[in-house]
Structures are given as C-alpha cells and as structure tokens.
Amino acid sequence: MRADLLAELARTRLTDPAAIRRAADARKRASSPVGPSGKCFVIAADHPARGALGTGGDPMAMADRGDLLDRLRTALEHPGCTGVLATADVLEDLLLLGALDGKVVFGSMNRGGLAGAAFEIDDRFTGMRADAIERMGFDGGKMLTRIDLADDRTAPTLEAAAEAVDALADRGLVAMVEPFLSRREHGRIVNDVTTEGVVTSVAIASGLGSTSARTWLKVPTAPDMARVAAASTLPMVVLGGEVADLDVQRESWAAALALPNVVGLTVGRSLLYPADGDVAAAVDAAVSLL
C-alpha cells in the first residue's frame, strides 16, 4: 500500500474517528447475501486478531496491515467476490478505503481463543457484538465454535455461541457458525476433518440458540461432503484454511458447491497469499466455480 494512503488512514483514525461511522452510514449495502449465481464468495481475513499470522510457510505473512489491505482490496474488486469476513479493525480500514460498497459484510465475533494458548479452546467473544454489527449496517456475525470433549472450557464457549446466535437473529442478521470437533495433540489444538467429525460438529452447531432461522454453517472440506450437507438443512459455506495444492482444493470446492444447501465459499489465506503471489488470478479461479 502506498505510504500516503497508510498515512491518511492513520491520520483519520487519530483526528477524525467519527469518519468510520460516516463511511458505514454512507455505504451501499448488498441487495442479497448471495450473488446472481445464487452462491456467495466471501473473502476471510479475521486470522490476525487471534494471533494466527502465518500462512504458506511464512509465520508472519499477515503481519503487514497495509499489504493485507491491498490483497483484500484486490479480492473485493472482483465482481464475483460477494463479501468479506473480518474483525472490526480491518472492516473499518476497508470502509475508510471505500472498498465495501455493494458487499456482504460479516463481523468476526470471538477471537479470544488465541492460537497456541493454553486456553485456546476458550473462544471468548472479544470481537464484534451483535448490536455493533447492526449499528454499522453489516449483514451478520461469524463465530468459531471448537468443541473439545475433553476440555470443560468448551461448554461456556457453546453457551456464548448460542447467545450470539439469538442476538443476531433478533436483529435479522445472519449467524455464521464455524464448528469443529477438536482435540489436543502434543499441546496443539487439532481439528477433526474426517467426514464423521465434520458431520458431528454440524449436528451440534445446527442446534445452537433459540432459532436457527438465520444460521449459516461454515464447514471444512471433508472426504464425503454429501454426508456433511445431509447432516443439516441449514445453508453451508465451505471454508478454505491452509491449502497445500490449490488445484486439488478447487476440485473439492466444485464438488461441494453442487450440493443443494452449500451456498458458497468463505476462503482467506490460501487466496490472499497464493504461492505465485497473484491474488487476482487466485480469486478469479475460485469465483469461476460459482
């Protein structure tokens, strides 16, 4: 990002913080949560707030905020990129840059389960709250919901997620729940992405809250996505995560998108930081699947 643009963002935040709210009020909102194809492609960038800065073998790949914003703007400029998922700080920068017009915007709600922390499974809601998402004119909130059956800190995380689902639904906003069955191996949290593991997490997440009327599920690619999709009638978006071979992953995404309740993709690091550095081409290849 140009130095003068970064300086302007910093100056605005220092001397005119109300500009963020004005930009939110002036933003042109998307007419639908999905694009003309009936599917959505949402670029995700809420990893830094959980201390997860690495991708593609570089442990600090996402540490340069100007570089991240440049990559996000490139993705959002593609007409097939229907929206973005991020924490308040990133979304506010994008608002000030005028990059969110006509896009669906999801605020990331719980980032308290810091990557590598002893308390990582305790995903406290330290990000955007439902009232703030509504106030900013955004479209929904996303919550990471990892379920470790051997860790009693899972229970309050599930309770908080259920309360967030209700708070969003009360405001007519989408609750994007990202569930995983998780466990600790050698001190690290590992997510179960077997078909059975993802099906079980989908079943648990579908029942969170007093209503599921506005709940979407954000799910990983499992070996048998037909069984995953059959585990719930809720709309599902398929996530990206760390991708070793993007061509192989695109084949998996394409197969998943053919299922009736899989309504799109929510992908971040693998497309924002492709091996060849060409963000526009990586986004274009993913959007073509829709």
pLDDT at 244: 64
- Is the pLDDT at 46 greater than 70? The verdict is yes
pLDDT at 240: 79
- Average per-residue pLDDT for the chain: 95
Q: Tell which residue, 274, 281, 279, has the closest CA to residue 245.
A: 274
pTM for the model: 0.95
Span 113-136, pLDDT tens digits: 999 999 999 999 999 999 999 999
pLDDT at 174: 98
Rounded Cα distance between 41 and 280, Å, is 14
Span 16-33, pLDDT tens digits: 999 999 999 999 999 999
Give the helix, strand, coil percentages of the chain, each rounded to 5: 40, 20, 40
pLDDT at 41: 96
Distance of CA 271 to the CA centre of its chain: 13
Quote the percentage of the chain above a pLDDT of 90: 90
User: 3-287 falls under which CATH superfamily?
Assistant: Aldolase class I (3.20.20.70)
pLDDT at 57: 87
Round to the nearest angstrom and report the end-to-end CA distance of the chain. 30
Over residues 195-222, mean pLDDT: 98
Over residues 244-253, mean pLDDT: 80
Residues linked to residue 265 through DSSP beta bridges, in sequence order: 41, 238
